[in-house]
Amino acid sequence: MNIEFPFFPESPATKLDGLWNFKWLGDTIPDTVDAIEYDEKGAVPGVFDLSPLHVNEKGVAAYQTEFSVAESGSYEFYCGGAGLAVRFYIDGLLVAESLSAYSPFSSIVSLEEGKHTIVAIVDSRFESQKSSLFHTWADFWGYGGIYRSVTLRKLPKNGRIERVAVFTKSIETGTVELEISTTDLADGTYSFDIEFDGPTAGAGTNPATYSLEIINGKTTLELQVPSFKVWSLESPNLHLVRVWFNNQSIVTRFGIRTITTDKQKILLNGKSVFLKGVNKHEAHPELGPVQNTQLLLDDLIWAKKLGCNFIRCVHYTHDPRMFDFCDELGLLVWEESLGWGNPTSDFLDEKVLEEAVEATKQMVWRDINHPSIIMWAFINEGDSAADESIPFYTTLVNTIRGMDASRLVTYACNRTENDKCFDLVDVISINRYPGWCGPFANGVHYLDFVKKDIPYLEKLFAEKFTDKPLIMSETGTCGIFGKHDYGRAQWTEEFQCDFLEAIVTPILNSSRFTGIAIWQFFDSKSYVNQGQIRCKPFGTNLAGLLDEYRRPKQSFYLIQKLYGGK
Sign for the CA dihedral angle at 107, 112, 113, 116 comes to negative
**E-strand stretches of 197-327:** 208-214, 218-224, 239-245, 248-254, 259-262, 265-268, 271-272, 275-280, 310-313
Q: Are 478 and 491 in contact (CB under 8 A)?
A: yes
Query: CA 139, CA 142: separation in Å to the nearest integer?
Result: 9
In terms of Cα–Cα distance, which of 553, 564, 561 is closest to 521?
553
182 falls in which pLDDT band (50, 70, 90)?
A: very high
Burial 355-369 (b: 16+ CB within 10 A, else e): bbbbbbbbbbebbbb
Residue 350 three-state SS: helix
Give the Cβ contact number of residue 55 at 10 Å: 10
- Dist. CA 13–CA 23, nearest whole Å: 27
Q: Is residue 549 classed as helix, strand or coil in its secondary structure? A: coil
CATH assignment of 160-254, given 2.60.40.10, 3.30.1300.10, 3.40.1830.10, 3.20.20.70?
2.60.40.10
- Say if residues 505 and 276 touch (Cβ distance below 8 Å): no
For the cut 80, the answer to whether the pLDDT of residue 1 exceeds it is no
pLDDT band (50, 70, 90) for residue 439: low
Residues paired with residue 250 on neighbouring β-strands, in sequence order: 243
User: Which is nearest to 396 in space by CA: 429, 362, 373?
Assistant: 362
Distance from CA of residue 126 to its chain's centroid? 21
Domain 260-564 has CATH 3.20.20.80: yes
* pLDDT single digits (tens) 127-173: 756 667 898 889 999 999 999 999 999 999 889 999 999 999 999 99
Residue 519 has pLDDT above 70, yes or no: yes
Q: What is the DSSP string of 197-212?
A: S-SBTTB-SSPEEEEE
Q: How far is the first Cα of the chain from the last one, in angstroms, to the nearest whole number?
A: 33
Question: Could you tell me the CA-to-CA distances from 475 to 23, 198, 419 in Å, in that order?
Answer: 41, 45, 18
pLDDT value of residue 127: 75
The tens digit of pLDDT for each residue in 443-460 reads: 788 899 899 999 999 999
Residue 180 · residue 146 · CB < 8 Å: no
Please state the domain extents for the chain.
17-148, 160-254, 260-564
Q: How far is CA 297 from the centre of its chain?
A: 16
Q: Find the DSSP H helices in 368-509.
A: 389-403, 446-463, 493-508
Angle, CA 380 vertex, CA 478 and CA 548 arms, to 5°: 35
Residues 6+ apart with CB under 8 A from 2: none
SS3 label, residue 224? strand
- Chain segment 330-353, per-residue pLDDT in tens: 999 999 999 999 999 999 999 999
Residues 446, 443: Cα–Cα separation, whole Å:
9
Contact in structure between 534 and 294 (CB atoms under 8 Å): no
Q: Is the dihedral of CA 354, 356, 361, 362 positive or negative?
A: positive
- Residue scoring higher pLDDT (438 or 366): 366
Q: How far apart are CA 542 and CA 534, in angstroms?
A: 13
pLDDT at 200 over 80: no
CA dihedral 412, 413, 419, 424 (to 10 degrees): 0
Whether the predicted pLDDT of 531 surpasses 80: no
Mean pLDDT along residues 91-108: 95
The pLDDT tens digits of the residues spanning 286-325 come to 999 999 999 999 999 999 999 999 999 999 999 999 999 9
Tens digits of residue pLDDT in 450-495: 999 999 999 999 999 999 999 999 999 999 999 999 999 999 999 9
Whole-prediction pTM: 0.96
Rg (CA), the chain: 24
* pLDDT-above-90 percentage for the chain: 89
Of the candidates 377, 369, 321, the one whose C-alpha atom is nearest the C-alpha of residue 147 is 321
**Model pLDDT for residues 228-282, shown as the tens digit of each residue:** 999 999 999 999 999 999 889 999 999 999 999 999 999 999 999 999 999 999 9
- Cis ω for the linkage preceding 315 (within 30 of 0): yes
CB neighbour list of residue 14: distance below 8 Å, 6 or more residues apart: 67, 151, 152, 153
Kindly report the CATH number that applies to the domain delimited by 17-148.
Answer: 2.60.120.260
- Band (pLDDT 50/70/90 cuts) for residue 206 is confident
533 or 67: which carries more pLDDT confidence?
A: 67
Q: What is the DSSP letter of 422?
A: G
